[in-house]
Amino acid sequence: MRILWLLMVVTSVGACAQTPQELLRFAQDAYRNPTGYEIDGKGSVQPVGSSWQVGFPITIVAAPAPLETPNAPVSPGVRVGGPLAFTKTSEGSDEKPNDISIPFAVTGAWSRIAEKTTSVKEVGSERLPLNGEMVDCRVLEVEYRPLPDDTKPGPVKYSICSDKHLVLKKVMLYSMGRRSTDPEGLWAITFGTVAFHRPAPKWLLDLKDQPTLKVRNEWLGKQAPAFALADLNGQKIDSSTMRGKLVLLDFWSTSCAPCLREMPLIQSVAKDHTDNVTVWGVSLDQAERDKKWLAQHQQTFPTLADSDYVVSDLYKVHGIPAVVLIDRKGKIRNYWEGEVAPNDLEAALKRASRIR
pLDDT score, position 163: 83
Q: Is residue 11 part of a domain?
A: no
State how far the Cα of 340 lies from the Cα of 343, in Å rounded to an integer: 9
Shared-domain flag, residues 27 and 153: yes
Summarised one tens digit per residue, pLDDT across range 137-151 is 999 999 998 765 456
Answer yes or no: are the C-beta atoms of 164 and 21 closer than 8 Å.
Answer: no
pLDDT tens track for 75-128: 888 888 778 899 998 888 888 887 677 877 888 889 999 998 999 999 999 999
> Which residue, of 165, 182, 203, is where some domain finishes?
203
Looking at residues 227-232, what average pLDDT do you find? 92
CA–CA gap between residue 118 and residue 133 (Å, rounded): 34
In a domain, 67, yes or no: yes
Chosen domain end from 203, 229, 264: 203
- Binning pLDDT at 50, 70 and 90, where does residue 11 land? very low
Please name which of 169, 175, 139, 143 lies closest in space to residue 156, comparing C-alpha atoms: 143
- Three-class DSSP category at 62: strand
- Residues 232, 294: one domain? yes
Residues 180 and 215 in one domain: no
Residue 121: closest CA among 158, 93, 150: 158
Which among 277, 262, 265 is positioned nearest to 321, based on CA atoms?
262
Q: Does the residue 13 lie in any domain?
A: no
Asked if 248 and 166 sit in the same domain, the reply is no
Q: Are residues 135 and 282 in the same domain?
A: no
Q: Span 10-20, mean pLDDT?
A: 57
pLDDT at 252 over 50: yes
**CATH number, position 267:** 3.40.30.10
Q: How far is the C-alpha of 118 from the C-alpha of 82, rounded, in Å? A: 35
* Confidence at residue 141, expressed as pLDDT on a 0 to 100 scale: 98
Q: Give the domain CATH number at 31.
A: 2.50.20
Residues 40 and 125 in one domain: yes
Q: What is the per-residue pLDDT for 197?
A: 82
Percent of the chain with pLDDT over 90: 47
pTM, two decimal places: 0.63
Name residue 251's beta-bridge partners. 282, 322
**What is the extent of the structural domain holding 35?**
19-203
Q: Which pLDDT value is given to residue 99?
A: 67
How do strand 246-252 and strand 277-283 relate by DSSP bridges?
Answer: parallel
Rounded Cα–Cα distance for residues 175 and 314 (Å): 11
Out of 2-11, 35-44, 49-58, least confident range: 2-11
Judgement on whether residues 116 and 49 belong to the same structural domain of the protein? yes
Average pLDDT over residues 302-314: 88
Q: What is the 3-state secondary structure (H, E, C) of 63-103?
A: CCCCCCCCCCCCCCEEEECCCCEEEECCCCCCCCCCCCCCC
Look at residue 83 and tell me if it is in a domain: yes
User: What's the domain count of the chain?
Assistant: 2
Higher pLDDT, 10 or 51: 51
- Does 268 lie in the same domain as 180? no
Stated as kind and residue range, the H or E segment containing 275 is none
Q: Which of 147, 175, 203 is the last residue of a domain?
A: 203
CA distances from 190 to 99, 128, 158, 184, 229 (A): 22, 9, 10, 20, 31
Q: Percent of the chain at pLDDT above 70?
A: 88
